[in-house]
Amino acid sequence: MMRWSRILRLRLRSLLRRRRVDEEIDEELSYHLQRQIDEFAVSGMDPREARYAARREMGGVELQREECRDSLGLRLVDELRHDGRYAIRTLVRNPGFTAVAVLTLALGSGANVAIFSIFNQALLRLLPVPAPDELVNFSSPGPKTGRTSTSSTFGPDAVFSYPLFRDIERDQRVFTGIAAHRDFVAHVSYRGQASSEQGHLVSGSYFPVLALRPALGRLLGPEDDRTSGAHPVVVLGYPYWRSRFKGDPAVLNDSIMVNGHALTIVGVAAQDFVGTTLENRPQIFVPLTMAALTMPGLRNPHSGGVWNGFEDRRDHWLYLFARLKPGIALESAERTINIPFAAIINDVEFPAQRSGLGNTARERFKNRRLLLEPGAQGERPERAELRSMFLLLFCVTGLVVLIACANIANLLLARRPAVSLAWSWPAGRSTLWRLSSPNRAMRCCASSSTRRCCYSRSCCALGWPYWSAPVRRCLPRGPISRRRSGAVRPALVRQHDYGQHWPQHKLRSRWRSL
């Protein structure tokens, strides 16, 4: 252990105090050279001949100096530093080639990053909750009477009335919990500053079903979901807490105004959690029992402005999801839950809604089933449109990357005299590859810095303006995160290696044939 610590200490000293180490090497070599000269002079040699003899005896001072430097174990660092300087000089000496290569790589990688970011956000990203594969979403196709209130991207099959939600919630044979939620526009005012944010009305089982823990304070629970209008509390989304409240923990128990009503801040949601719906990024979470106060749009104009959505089975406005018990398959859970659901439809729902149904619709209503869909990614609207658009986007970005590779290859072919001269050097392949690697690395670094500028432009060029408004809200606007970009880097490196290796292989074959 002492030996390794000593070696590490010496290596760090050689790296950080390089000039001092070089001076010590020169002093040591000068000392040994002078000792050798003195020995030859004492034996009777002329001082000039003694110096020549001493140099011959030592085998060359410069060679000894390089061997001493190599013994420090920093040869690789020296070579990388010299190769980096060589790469910078090469790029500066050819500004036209450098600019075209960097822009070409930036365009290809920018489009690649844009499509992967959109694809990951829309179709691959899982909810940041424990065991997301256990989550399922509810829908029930069939006729509905009365008022159906949906968001812009979900059809009427996905919404349920509040009484029906409570009826389904009573049967927990295959679920650990069932939760309901609904988005709304929140006009938030805090200490004189007002803004419009996205909000979420959630049942008391919402956060327990997701198995989330608060970043600060507490989350909403069953105790906040008992009496209508009696729980004026709110949970802030983590990004909203960081941006609007500067991450101040003292906001707990402060009051904010939401749509004209005072709510007390009781906690902050988990850091990575931004809701379960792709198109909505809620900044605040309010108990479902506060719907009549915080959602004026739910009021029924046909009943004198009085909203009774907590009792009216004809008012469909809630989205439902649940968590399966461990070990229960989706198909088995669907068969099991449809037994009590059929009884609820025929014995409770049908008598309450039969007056608004025709004969054909009545039969369809009685045959309604509860469908369970995987909810690991939350609610994902417009899947058919997303899939068809991504098929087109993959073809377009693949063509862009192919053009970028071919462009770099042709640029390098245009420099074949210089490359042929380099390959004619009396050096091994590893040395030539080492000399060319920093050049490629510099181009990649420059193109990576330019890629961020091409990202938003690539999104527009890939068809963003032509998608429907609901789908555009589902797609990310900011740059790709570091975790996701790790999956893109290998493709970009391979793209660049192709542009460097292919012309070198061709030129080497031609040079050998001469």
Rounded to whole angstroms, the Cα distance separating 451 from 457 reads 10
Mean pLDDT of 89-106: 75
| Per-residue model confidence as pLDDT tens digits over 473-498 | 555 554 444 444 444 454 445 444 54
3-state helix, strand, coil in the chain (%, to 5): 60, 15, 25
Q: How confident is the model at residue 99 (pLDDT cuts 50, 70, 90)?
A: confident
Q: Is residue 263 predicted with pLDDT exceeding 80?
A: yes
The single-letter code of the amino acid at 423 is W
pLDDT for residue 487: 41
pLDDT for residue 136: 96
- Residue of higher predicted confidence among 409 and 148: 148
pLDDT for residue 81: 73
pLDDT for residue 485: 45
User: Are the CB atoms for 315 and 147 separated by under 8 Å?
Assistant: yes
Q: Is residue 306 predicted with pLDDT exceeding 60?
A: yes
pLDDT for residue 423: 61
What residues form DSSP beta bridges with 177? 323
Extract the tokens encoding 445: 């670094």
Q: How confident is the model at residue 10 (pLDDT cuts 50, 70, 90)?
A: low
Find all residues with CB under 8 Å of 494, minimum gap 6, and list them: none
Name, of 91-100, 250-259, 427-436, 437-446, the range with top average pLDDT.
Answer: 250-259
User: Are the CB atoms for 187 and 263 separated by under 8 Å?
Assistant: no
pLDDT for residue 336: 95
pLDDT for residue 187: 94
Q: In 3-state terms, what secondary structure has residue 28?
A: helix
In 3D, which of 276, 313, 334 has the Cα closest to residue 127? Answer: 276
Q: How confident is the model at residue 506 (pLDDT cuts 50, 70, 90)?
A: very low
Q: Residue-wise over 259-269: b if at least 16 C-beta within 10 A, else e?
A: beeebebbbbb
Instruction: State in Å, rounded, how far the first CA of the chain is from the last one.
Output: 57
Q: Is residue 170 predicted with pLDDT exceeding 80?
A: yes
User: Are the CB atoms for 415 and 97 separated by under 8 Å?
Assistant: yes
In 3D, which of 114, 111, 136, 118 has the Cα closest to residue 474? Answer: 118
pLDDT for residue 507: 44
pTM of the predicted model as reported, rounded to 2 decimal places: 0.67
| Per-residue model confidence as pLDDT tens digits over 39-56 | 888 888 888 888 888 878
**Helix and strand counts by DSSP (H, E) for the chain:** 19, 12
Dihedral sign from CA coordinates of 177, 199, 298, 308: positive
Backbone angles phi, psi at 278, to 5 degrees: -60, -40
Mean pLDDT of 255-280: 91
- Residue of higher predicted confidence among 34 and 509: 34
pLDDT for residue 479: 46
Rounded to whole angstroms, the Cα distance separating 130 from 191 reads 36
pLDDT for residue 115: 76
Q: How confident is the model at residue 447 (pLDDT cuts 50, 70, 90)?
A: low
Pairing of strands 315-324, 159-161: antiparallel
Indicate the helix (H) or strand (E) that contains 489: helix 489-513
Q: Is residue 87 predicted with pLDDT exceeding 60?
A: yes
Percent of the chain with pLDDT strictly greater than 90: 34
Number of neighbouring beta carbons within 10 Å of residue 82: 12
Query: How does the average pLDDT of the chain come out, rounded?
Result: 78
pLDDT for residue 137: 95
Mean pLDDT of 158-181: 94
pLDDT for residue 199: 94
- Residue of higher predicted confidence among 233 and 494: 233
pLDDT for residue 364: 92
Q: Alpha carbon of 275 to those of 45, 129, 428: distances in Å?
A: 91, 11, 58
The single-letter code of the amino acid at 368 is R
Choice among 62-76, 166-180, 393-407 with the minimum mean pLDDT: 62-76
